[in-house]
Amino acid sequence: MTNISGMTKSLPRQAAVLILASAIGVPVWAQQPSTQAPPSSMDQTAPAQASADQAPPAPSTAPAPAAKEGFWGRINPMARKKWVKKQLDPINDRLSELDQVNAKQAQDIKDVDARAQAGIQKAQSAADQANQTAMAASQQAQNANSSAMQASTHVTTINGTVNGLDQYKQVTDFEVTFRPGTTTMTDDSKQKLDQLAQSLTGRQGYILEMDAQAPGAGSVGIQNSQRLNEAVKRYLVTDHQIPVYRMHTVALGNMQVASNDEASSEKPTPVKSRTVRVRLMENSLAAQGAGSPQGVAPSTGPVQP
């Protein structure tokens, strides 16, 4: 009886120890995948394996066996930190690699964008500079064209001036008469010379042609006509300050100059009066802007004393 009662008392303790041991051992057993097949299965597969060794090997098409999970799954709630870290380290390494790749790609994109912006700015600057250069060249071309046109106009004007320097036209002509046998001019002739000199005040580009005629054969008539020319020139220089270089004279003596409307077969007849024919010749270029001499009445015939 004593033994039975002692066993009865120790039975609950043994049951408690067995339960506690099973509670600790089950998780550990769950984490370890079973790699050994039951003996019955090994015995059954032995003949099949022997026949397979004799047959030619066939290509393996079966999928790879999936990793077996424990009783609590891949992560045991009662697993240690080292085991969890060992499982998470490959994932963390992969994530770190992906972060590095993303960071490198982002930096590459920034570099490409920076180079593109720099290229765009450089191209824009070059285009602006080229535009400014083109505008400056266009302005220079316009200035050169304007200068060329001005030079062409100036050359044309100079050519016209040079060509017209010796081009004179007759404005008026009249005769100065003298008293018979003297070099004294008549009052009417002096009045004509006064009007001519008054009209020439301040004018440029004119000359006075004077040809004198006087009776007398040969050198006598020429000397007499020279004295008549000198009398007219002296009067214009002393009384009206006409420059000497503007007066051109010729002494014809007693020979009458044939006019254009006279027949060429007729010979000029000797003159019998003492006259000086005065012609006002004007250069149109040198006298631009000035009016023609006024108040000079042209005369075509000698004035009788």
CATH code for the domain in which residue 216 is found:
3.30.1330.60
* Band (266; pLDDT cuts 50, 70, 90): low
Residues 130 and 178 in one domain: no
Question: Does residue 132 belong to any structural domain of this protein?
Answer: yes
* Band (295; pLDDT cuts 50, 70, 90): very low
Question: Does residue 48 belong to any structural domain of this protein?
Answer: no
Average model confidence (pLDDT) across the chain: 74
Question: Does residue 5 belong to any structural domain of this protein?
Answer: no
Answer whether residue 13 shows pLDDT above 60: yes
DSSP-assigned letter for residue 262: S
Structurally, the chain folds into a number of domains equal to: 2
Q: Which residue in this structure is represented by tokens 């420059």? A: 243
Residues 155 and 113 in one domain: yes
Residues 185 and 278 in one domain: yes
Question: Does residue 97 belong to any structural domain of this protein?
Answer: yes
Map 162-208 to HEC letters: HHCCCCEEEEEEEEEEECCCCCCECHHHHHHHHHHHHHCCCCCCEEE
Question: Does residue 9 belong to any structural domain of this protein?
Answer: no
Average pLDDT over residues 273-277: 89
The pLDDT tens digits of the residues spanning 34-73 come to 444 444 444 444 444 444 444 445 544 555 455 444 545 5
The pLDDT value given to residue 277: 92
How far apart (Å, rounded) are the C-alpha atoms in residues 279 and 172? Answer: 6
Average pLDDT over residues 153-178: 80
Residues 154 and 180 in one domain: no
**E strand or H helix at 275:** strand 275-283
In the chain, the percentage of residues whose pLDDT exceeds 90 is 31
Among 123-132, 163-172, 203-212, whose mean pLDDT is lowest?
A: 163-172
Which has more pLDDT, 115 or 181? 115
Question: Does residue 74 belong to any structural domain of this protein?
Answer: no
The pLDDT tens digits of the residues spanning 246-265 come to 999 998 888 766 555 554 45
Among 87-101, 243-257, 265-279, whose mean pLDDT is lowest?
A: 265-279
Q: Which residue in this structure is represented by tokens 């316009």? A: 142
* Band (133; pLDDT cuts 50, 70, 90): very high
* Band (273; pLDDT cuts 50, 70, 90): confident
- The pTM (predicted TM-score) of the whole model is 0.43
Which residues sit opposite 251 in a β-bridge? 212
* Band (109; pLDDT cuts 50, 70, 90): very high
- The listed range with the strongest mean pLDDT (31-40, 162-171, 229-238, 257-266) is 229-238
Give the number of other Cβ atoms within 10 Å of residue 275's Cβ. 21
Q: Where are the alpha helices (DSSP H) in the chain?
A: 2-31, 39-54, 81-163, 187-199, 219-240
Question: Does residue 288 belong to any structural domain of this protein?
Answer: no
Which has more pLDDT, 296 or 146? 146
* Band (144; pLDDT cuts 50, 70, 90): very high
Average pLDDT over residues 186-198: 92
Residues 192 and 244 in one domain: yes
The pLDDT value given to residue 49: 46
Check if the beta carbon of residue 248 is closer than 8 Å to that of residue 211: no
Residues 138 and 175 in one domain: no
Boundary of a domain, candidates 163, 189, 213: 163
Residues 152 and 174 in one domain: no
Question: Does residue 107 belong to any structural domain of this protein?
Answer: yes
Domain of 123, in residue numbers: 79-163
The pLDDT value given to residue 75: 54
